[in-house]
């Protein structure tokens, strides 16, 4: 619209000028080196206009040609940069760090340091174990809102490789703020928070993962319960009120978390609330019977004698589910009270449902106290073939633990300590003694061994 208006104004000015020249005719004389040129003003104006428009046309033509040449060069450069980009990405997929970095640097030169080139160079540098260069290129993109999540992921990978939990925590926190729905930052965030014992950060990361559907709710709640219990343990000495709140949260999320029930009872006893402590232990036993719960229940009333302890444990077991740990707890406290008959009865009942090593170990103790040496030896012999005992162990690496911990001290995994049987593999003995060698009638070598077939063994057994 503006351009049309300008053309209209220019046409009006030219028309007005033509009318003025027509009303005011005259002549122009040019004397140049003896040549005399006489022109009317009208013709002089026409020649001037033609000259002006011709000059404008030639200038525009030259600009158009230059623009076409530049555009052609730009397209060629763009195509070359696109080729370098493709070759660089292919090298990254093939884990060829040297080739990827060479093409990434060519792409950066041709594209004028496109932000994508920094990502490619940083990733290639990671493949070359050049963390300094990788960190530099990823850091250049932190201020770019489009590339910030990718840059933070690269920096988070470097921090994880270097074992810098502090940097990993800060970077993962920034990543959560920059890309709240990103799944790749949640696990490092939780791991760094756990390593630094920043349980508030771990709890918030787990809540976000569950809310966004990145973590199954039952598994997420179990991990949240572990975090809540860890926070309660951390606050036990300095902030007991906060510890009580956290341990209640842990039991609400996972009622079968035995250490939480024991800690809740301890905190209740500190407030002189023994009946509430008993309730915590009974509730814990009803969800997951455990020897620690029975021991804590007995410790609530000390000094009443072993027989009273046996009665208290029997009452706790009767109120809970039918579980082998209940029979074992009754047998242990019956034995402590010198009641070998009831102890033997509980262990025999447990042997029928769960013939574990601890069953026969305690049965051997019962028979030893009763003076039955033969029965004691039989119980000890049965231990070799009995089922494994439950222990606190890491489900990730298999390492056994004396008690429950939020983090495995051996492999560093979080929320993997469980109370369950673990099979211990017996060592395989290899006979490396040299075997005699003889030759048969055909000259073939025969290696003499002591191995016999199962049929031969069964025949020898029958003969015996």
pLDDT tens-place values along the chain, 464 residues long: 787 888 778 778 877 877 776 677 777 777 777 787 777 777 777 788 888 889 989 998 999 988 888 888 888 888 898 899 999 999 999 999 999 999 999 999 988 888 889 999 999 999 999 999 999 999 999 888 888 998 999 999 999 888 898 998 999 888 888 887 777 888 888 888 888 888 988 888 888 888 888 888 899 899 999 999 999 999 988 899 999 999 999 999 999 999 999 999 999 999 999 999 999 999 999 999 999 999 999 998 877 788 999 999 999 998 777 888 999 999 999 999 999 999 999 999 988 888 899 999 999 999 999 999 999 999 999 998 899 999 999 999 989 999 999 999 898 889 999 999 876 554 444 444 454 444 444 444 444 443 434 444 344 334 43
Shared domain for 110 and 150, answered yes or no, is: yes
**Angle subtended at Cα 252 by Cα 265 and Cα 184, rounded to the nearest 5 degrees:** 120
Domain boundary among 329, 350, 381: 381
Shared domain for 326 and 392, answered yes or no, is: no
Shared domain for 373 and 392, answered yes or no, is: no
DSSP annotation of 407 reads B
**In whole angstroms, what separates CA 457 from the centre of its chain?**
54
Shared domain for 397 and 376, answered yes or no, is: no
Shared domain for 377 and 407, answered yes or no, is: no
Query: CA of 409: how far to CAs of 194, 201, 395, 405, 415, in Å?
Result: 12, 21, 13, 8, 11
Q: Give me the CATH number covering residue 122.
A: 1.25.40
Q: Is residue 217 a part of any domain in this protein?
A: no
Neighbours of 20 (CB within 10 A): 10
Tell me the residue range of the domain where 103 lies: 79-155
Domain boundary among 130, 155, 180: 155
Q: Is residue 329 a part of any domain in this protein?
A: yes
DSSP string, 371-403: T-HHHHHHHHHHGGGSBPPEEEEETTT--EESS
Q: Is residue 174 a part of any domain in this protein?
A: no
Shared domain for 404 and 358, answered yes or no, is: no
Shared domain for 367 and 396, answered yes or no, is: no
Shared domain for 89 and 125, answered yes or no, is: yes
Q: Is residue 282 a part of any domain in this protein?
A: no
pLDDT for 252 equals 95
Rounded Cα distance between 269 and 259, Å, is 15
Q: Is residue 328 a part of any domain in this protein?
A: yes
Domain boundary among 128, 155, 182: 155
Q: Is residue 227 a part of any domain in this protein?
A: no
Q: Is residue 258 a part of any domain in this protein?
A: no
Looking at the 3D structure of the chain, how many domains does it have?
A: 3
Shared domain for 365 and 318, answered yes or no, is: yes
Q: Is residue 434 a part of any domain in this protein?
A: no
Shared domain for 375 and 319, answered yes or no, is: yes
């Amino acid at each position: 619209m503006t351009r049309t208006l300008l053309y209209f104004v220019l046409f009006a000015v030219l028309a007005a000028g033509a009318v003025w020249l027509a009303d005011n005719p005259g002549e122009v004389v040019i004397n140049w080196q003896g040549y005399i040129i006489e022109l009317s003003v009208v013709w002089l104006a026409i020649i001037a206009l033609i000259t002006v428009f011709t000059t404008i046309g030639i200038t525009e033509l030259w600009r158009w040609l230059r623009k076409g040449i530049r555009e052609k060069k730009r397209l060629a450069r763009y195509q070359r940069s696109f080729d370098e980009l493709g070759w660089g990405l292919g090298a990254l997929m093939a884990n060829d760090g040297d080739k990827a970095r060479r093409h990434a640097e060519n792409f950066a030169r041709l594209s004028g340091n496109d932000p994508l080139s920094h990502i490619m160079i940083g990733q290639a540098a990671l493949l070359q174990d050049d963390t300094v260069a990788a960190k530099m290129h990823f850091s250049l993109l932190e201020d770019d809102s489009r590339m910030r999540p990718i840059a933070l992921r690269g920096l988070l990978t470097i921090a994880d490789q270097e074992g810098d939990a502090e940097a990993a925590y800060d970077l993962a926190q920034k990543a959560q703020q920059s890309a709240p729905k990103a799944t790749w930052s949640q696990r490092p965030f939780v791991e760094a928070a756990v390593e630094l014992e920043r349980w508030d950060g771990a709890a918030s990361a787990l809540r976000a993962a569950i809310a966004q559907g990145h973590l199954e709710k039952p598994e997420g709640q179990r991990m949240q319960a572990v975090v809540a219990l860890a926070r309660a343990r951390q606050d036990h000495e300095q902030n007991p009120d906060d510890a009580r709140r956290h341990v209640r949260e842990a039991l609400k999320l996972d009622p079968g978390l035995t250490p939480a029930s024991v800690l809740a009872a301890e905190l209740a006893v500190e407030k002189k609330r023994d009946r509430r402590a008993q309730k915590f232990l009974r509730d814990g036993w009803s969800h997951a019977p455990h020897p620690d719960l029975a021991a804590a229940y007995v410790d609530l009333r000390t000094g009443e004698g072993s027989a009273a302890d046996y009665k208290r444990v029997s009452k706790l077991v009767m109120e809970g589910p039918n579980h082998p740990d209940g029979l074992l707890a009754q047998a242990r406290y019956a034995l402590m009270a010198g009641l070998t008959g009831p102890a033997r009865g509980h262990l025999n009942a447990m042997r029928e449902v769960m013939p574990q090593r601890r069953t026969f170990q305690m049965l051997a103790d019962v028979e030893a106290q009763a003076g039955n040496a033969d029965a004691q030896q039989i119980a000890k012999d049965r231990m070799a073939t009995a089922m494994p005992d439950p222990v606190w162990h890491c489900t990730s690496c298999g390492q056994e633990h004396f008690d429950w911990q939020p983090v495995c001290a051996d492999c560093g995994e979080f929320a993997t300590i469980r109370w369950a049987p673990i099979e211990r593999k017996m060592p395989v003995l290899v006979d490396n003694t040299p075997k005699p060698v003889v030759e048969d009638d055909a000259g073939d070598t025969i290696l003499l061994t002591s191995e016999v077939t199962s049929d031969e063994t069964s025949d020898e057994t029958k003969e015996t």
